[in-house]
Amino acid sequence: MQLFVGLGNPGAKYAGNRHNIGFMAVDRIAGDHGFGPWRAKFQGHVTEGVLEGEKVILLKPGTFMNLSGQSVGEAMRFYKLTPGDVTVFHDELDLAPGKLRVKTGGGHAGHNGLRSIHAHIGAEYARVRLGIGHPGHKDRVAGYVLQDFAKADQDWLDDMMRGIADGAPWLAQGKPDRFQNAVAQRMTPPRPKPERKTKPVPDPEPPQEAPEDTRSALQKLADRFL
C-alpha cells in the first residue's frame, strides 16, 4: 500500500495558489484513475484507489501547510505504513516552472510543509518536487507562493498534471524514472517526423513547332534531287 500526499492550504481562497500544486496533482490522479469520493479523515481528506494492482491512498491535509505533518503522521500510523511507503507532492522554488524531479530523503530546504512532515515521520520519504520557479529574492517568496498561477502558466501546468496522472502507476510500483519519463513526454511531446521530400519531376517541354518553309516550289523540287 502506498500513501500519496499532496501539500497545499485548505479552502477556496487558496485553491489556485502556486503553494497548492500538490493538491492539484493528487486531485488529477484521483480524477483520471477513477478513485472513490473524497472523505474527511486524518485531519484532512482521503480517497482510495488502485494503480496497476497497487492500493494507493491519496491524502490532502486539512491543516494549513505548516502543520501538514500532523495529518500525514496520523494516516501513516493508521495504515501501519513506513516513511518509505509515503510520497509527498509539493511545490519547489528551486526548479523552473514545469520541471519535475523525484527524490527520497534529504532536507526540507525551508519548505514549511516538509519541515512539519520531517518532525512527525522523519526524512526518509519520497518527494515529487514540482517546479514553480523563484521570484528572485527570498523576501518575495511568501507572497509569490500564495499567489495564483498566472494565465500564461496554464498550458504547462495542465500538461504537467496530465503527465503526473499518466505516470502515477509507475510511481506506485516504485519506478520513479518511468514516472518522470511519462511527465516529460507530456511536457515535450515527440515531434512529428518531417515529411519526406521527393525531387519534383520537371514538366515536359512542349514540342517545338517546325520552322516555316519559305522555299519556292522550284527550289523544293531541286532540293529533292540534289
In this prediction, residue 219 carries a pLDDT of 73
Span 23-46, average pLDDT: 97
Question: Do residues 96 and 156 lie in contact, with contact meaning Cβ atoms separated by under 8 Å?
Answer: no
Per-residue pLDDT tens digits for 11-25: 999 999 999 999 999
Pick 2-187's CATH classification: 3.30.420.10, 1.20.120.420, 3.40.50.1470, 3.30.70.3190. Answer: 3.40.50.1470
Per-residue pLDDT tens digits for 167-201: 999 999 999 999 999 999 999 866 666 677 667 66
Domain ranges of the chain: 2-187
Span 71-82, average pLDDT: 97
Per-residue pLDDT tens digits for 95-133: 999 999 999 999 998 899 999 999 999 999 999 999 999
C-alpha cell at 47: 480517497
Check the annotation: does 20 bind a ligand. Answer: no
Beta-bridged to residue 128, according to DSSP, are: 89, 102
Span 59-74, average pLDDT: 97
In this prediction, residue 188 carries a pLDDT of 83
d(CA 48, CA 34): 9
- Radius of gyration (C-alpha) of the chain in whole angstroms: 32
In this prediction, residue 140 carries a pLDDT of 94
Check the annotation: does 181 bind a ligand. Answer: no
Instruction: State the chain's mean pLDDT as an integer.
Output: 91
Of 19, 45, 90, 118, the catalytic one is 19
Q: What are phi and psi of 164, to 5 degrees?
A: -60, -45
HEC letters along the chain = CEEEEECCCCCHHHCCEHHHHHHHHHHHHHHHCCCCCCEEECCEEEEEEEECCEEEEEEEECCCHHHHHHHHHHHHHHCCCCHHHEEEEEEECCCCCCCEEEEECCCCCCCHHHHHHHHHHCCCCEEEEEECCCCCCHHHHHHHHCCECCHHHHHHHHHHHHHHHHHHHHHHCCCHHHHHHHHHHHHCCCCCCCCCCCCCCCCCCCCCCCCCCCCCHHHHHHHHHC
Check the annotation: does 17 bind a ligand. Answer: no
Span 61-74, average pLDDT: 96
Check the annotation: does 66 bind a ligand. Answer: yes
C-alpha cell at 175: 519506478
Catalytic residue status for 19: yes
Range with the poorest average pLDDT among 30-44, 179-193, 208-222: 208-222
pTM equals 0.83
In this prediction, residue 220 carries a pLDDT of 65
